[in-house]
Structure formats: structure tokens, C-alpha cells
Structure 1
Amino acid sequence: MPFDKEVFYIEEIKLAEALGLNQQSLDEIVDFLQASADESIQLKEWLHFAIQNYVNKQPIRIFSREGALAIASYLDLRGDATKIALNGVIALLEQYSLNQIDGKIRRAVYENSSSLVYRNKRHWLSREDVVKIFMTTSSRLIRAFGDIQRSDFPMRINIDFEDYDGLRFFSLSGLEKLSIELSLKLRSEERRDYCKRVREVAPPVLKFLAIAPSPEPKQIEQAMNFAKNRDKKTCQVTGVVRDKYNQRIELVGHHLYDQKTYHFLSADPDNILTIDKKLHEDFHQWNGGTQETCTIDDFIDYVEWRYPEKHELILTLHNKQRVLRLKLAQFQRTLPESRD
């Protein structure tokens, strides 16, 4: 049973650091609280924590916000938690929350930037894509635009917005003004927090996408062949091998970050995993079809659901996840400084 990453996202090593504990001490406290008959302090699996994996039969836990606070409260009650430790847990929770929001925004930008163009020394994005990035509706965005135009700082034609070939486009400065407006006016605190972060997170991603390299088909094919040889022509999930005894087995190179949306990673062998073609088709069907964008997070969720016993593979995928996220960040850091 895969855990919900929206609920369980606090790594035990980070929680231990925030509490001023080592991992073994945290494990002992969690084991004690889980076994406690006192329901006021009892920790419950699937409410306070989930087991992400096992190493040498020892569980690697991942905690919910409620779980982290419950442990901090218990230590405070016992007199073992200092104010610094409690503040550390609160800061950790705030940072995780921010990271989750930023991750959603980056993915929304990657998936909804097909209209991105560079004109008159500015980056422009269609209203349709902007609506999707803000995860709102066209009517709500139009209302926000109207409110901005009636304010003391209206959007400027050909600077913040323009109408091109019958379509409305917004520049990065226009995106910033929409971000501020929606973050002040939306009813939901969660939605306000999301829209507020768009002004910080979206521009560098869009600038990067405007200049991101698109490898040639030959380069992608070479990378896929390299990955198959690296993986010894073996499905990295099932272990099945294509050889003279198993000619019917067809292996493919699966892009962990999909080839269309994350085209700049399409010729990177680290982004390619050799798997059985049937498994590849099953994954994409599970994920909503071949046209649906996917990331390594989706593939990890699939493996945890379909092959929960593959503990070593799941750990390997989490390591790949860290490597690929660093590469995404490094790609964006190569951008020249520019202003819209």
C-alpha cells in the first residue's frame, strides 16, 4: 500500500536533526509511543507515520505533520525537548510545506508552457497556460486582471500583457502582478499561499525552458542504447533478461521524467531506466495514458504499489530522484541574469 506523499513527507533523518536526536533515539521513542496504551500519546501508523522501506529489516519511516508535532509534544511533556528543538520542528514543517508548494508550481510550469515565446525582449505565456499554472479558471483570472486594471498599478500594454494573433499573453511581470492579486483575494489560505509563490518560482523555470536544449533524436537513441548496456539488457524492475533464450522479451528505455515535457533531460542516461515493454505499457496505463506527463515520483508510486517487495529498487529510485532533482536545479542555475 503506497503512502500519500501529500500527507507523509517528513524524512526521519530530518525530524531527528530538528529534535536534536540521532536516528536510533528517534526510533526508540517512536517504538515506545506506538506500543503505548495511553491514547493521548500513542502514535498510529497511517496517521502519524508510514513505513517507506526497510533496510536490514529495520523500518525507514516517513512522518506526517501530526506525527512530527506529536513526538515534539511528547518530548516537551517529558521535559526532554528544548525550545530550540521545538522551534526546529516548526521551521522544518514550514520548509517542507514551502517545498511542496514550489514542487507543484514547477511541475505546473513544465506541463503548461507550450505557448512560451520570447518577443521584444520579454518572455510571454498565453492566458490558457497561465490559468493552468495558477490552477484556477479563466473567469477567475479575467476577474483578477480587471481588479488589477482598476488599481493604482494597472498592467501595461506590451509590457505586462499583449494581445497577439487574437490571444491574450502575459509577460513575467504580468505573471507577478497576477500572483500578488490572487494571493490577496482568494478565499482559501492554501490557494493564496500557492499563488503567492508563483511569482518567485515560475519565472526562473520559464526563462530556463526558453533556452533549454532539445537533443536530436539520434542523441536520445544513443542515450537509450547506453542505458540498456549499462543495465546489462535487464529489466530493472522484474530482473528479466533479453538473451538468446528469451528472444520474445522486448526491453525499452523508460524516461523517468517524460521525454516531451522534460525534453532537456531526454538524452541524459540518468533519466533513462531499462524496463520490460509490457511493464512500460502497464505503467503508462496506470498513469493515465502515454500522453499524460510523468516524473520519477510517479514511477516510484507505481513501483511501491505494484512491486512493494522490491525494497532495493525503491531505494535506488529514491537516489535517482535526488540526482535528477539536482540536475533540474543545476539546469536552471545556468541561466543568464535577465529581467522582463
Structure 2
Amino acid sequence: MSARMIDNHLLTDDFRNVMRLHFHSRVEFIGTLMEGILAVSADGKLVGANRGALEQLGMSGAALRMHSLTTLFGTTVGALVDRFRSPLATPMPVQLNGGRQFHIHARFNWPVWTSLADALGSVTEPSAGTVTSPAMAADAPMPTAPAPAAAPASAMGNGLAQLRTGDAQVASVVDKIRRVIDRDIPMLILGETGTGKELLARAIHMDSARAKQPFVAVNCASIPETLIEAELFGYEDGAFTGARRKGAVGKIVQANGGTLFLDEIGDMPVGLQAHLLRVLQERQVTPLGSAKSVAVDVSIICATHRNLREMIEAKQFREDLFYRLNGLAVRLPPLRERSDLMALVR
């Protein structure tokens, strides 16, 4: 799953100045690790694709390069700009020539308030004959993330470096995290109670570019089910009986610009999971009792001691939320398996 997340992130980075089509046969999987992503140039050529796109379309990179936006999905760049110029636009159903149906959502960074002609003129197209997406190159290996810059010296004492106390399992976890830190990849920390999941989350925050912004921790298991929604999303004055005058700012908004750590995410009520998924997809929070949304920019780190895959099978945890949170999953060993207990005691 981490390789798929990195693949998606690299493709989005490489093609930030062209249109990107996010699609899946099931609309609820758009925006998750399972979605396909296609990069489309201003004239409708398909110039990039992730692994998920090739798998869903059942095509090789060479076969996909033979198509354009029109021949594949039966639509045009102009039509997609018109439909998705609004941030509230819903995914559009499309059908391939063979009858297979997908839902697509277009994202683009050029100013949609200008004319389409101006927008098309502002896009830099790849040179002819150049393979611009690793996934579209025949037999191309999965891209790997570049090595992150070394942590600032001032942060070395409080960040991930402090966790290197001689245990090989923990060192492996730290190495994996360093490869994806600051790449907007959500992390899921697994492990028994007492293994130091929050300590690891704080260390990740300290070594990230968000270190000077808030780190907000929420233990989903310790907040009563009737209060956790108000605690996370905030509320307006009079939103419910007993609400504070003037309302309260939720934990997600408090973490804006920084890191939100959701401990024991497996204990979050199923109904609230849908609300959280919407926030992660839209990057907006609507406090209880309010009609206005607040834009948020947070890095998400979650932790749990539960087996989320078993909970998905039991319908106790949403599968789409799991794929949204499971960008990089790491497991901390229990204390009884660690070889650095003396160092921890000291």
C-alpha cells in the first residue's frame, strides 16, 4: 500500500500543471489508494498514469498511449473544465467502448475563471515521443521516493533520531518513515498498547516541515461517543444542549497547518468515520450547527492496537477510510520483543 501511495503522490507532483483524472468503477473509492489517476495534456493526450489506472482499464502503458481523452472516455478537456470548475462538482459517470462504467473527477491547477483558450495556452506539454510517466513505460519499475533531507540539527534531539536506541525493528520503522516524511502521505501506526505510538507520532511531527505548527492528539477511545463528534469538528453556539456559549473550535481546526494524531482510530464510531472521510477528501470542516465550512490543511497520523482488516470484514470499520489512512503502515514491536530495554530504562 505504501508503494501505491508513493506512486500516486509522485504522479500528482510530476503533473501538477496539467489536468489529472481520478477515477474508479466505485465512486466511493475516488480519492483513496485504489483509484486510477490519468494525466491529460491540454490537447487531450494521455501523458501519465498510475498503476491503478492501468489495472482498472486492463491496459498496458503502450496500449494506453494509443488513446486520447476522447477515444477513452468520450469527453473533452473543455467539457471537464466546465463541469469541474466548481469545487462542489460531483464525479461524472463515463462508459468505455466495451461497456465498462467508471466515475471520474477532474483536478487542475490552472485558473478556471479565465477562458479555456488561455488555460490551454498556459500548459506546458511534454516533448513528442517522451515517456513521461513511469507506470506508462513498458516494464517500468515502481518509482521510489527520493531520500529526504536530513533533519535540522536543532530537531535531532527530539525527532526520530531519539528513537534509535539500538533495536533493529524500531530502526527499520524509522528508516521507512524518513523515506516518505513531508510527502503528504498519511501514516498508520500499529502496535500494542504501551509501545510508544504517540511518541513516534510526535517524533514524526518534530522532523517534518510542520514542526513549528500545532501537534494535536485525540484519543478516540477515551472520549464518549456522544461527545467525540463535537470534540473533533467543533460546534456553534446552541448546536446542542449544554454547548458552550460562542461554541468551540474542534481539534481538526486546532491542528490546521500542523499534525493531527488520531490515537485508537479503530475505536471511532462507524457513523463518525463517514464524516471524517468527507473532511479528508474535501479538506474542509463544518462545525456542528454551522452552515459554513472551514478550510483545513493537516497532516494525518493514526494509530491503533486493533486489526482494522478484521474490523472491515465485521463492518465495524469503513474500507474506504482505511485506504485513505493507510498510506504508510508501520508496526511498533511490543516491549517484550525489543532488544534495547536497558537504553529505554536509562
Common topology (TM > 0.5): no
Query: Based on CA coordinates, which of the two structures has the bigger radius of gyration?
Result: 1
Higher helix share: 1
TM-score normalised by L of structure 2: 0.26
Relative contact order (alpha carbons < 8 A, sep ≥ 6): 1 or 2 greater? 2
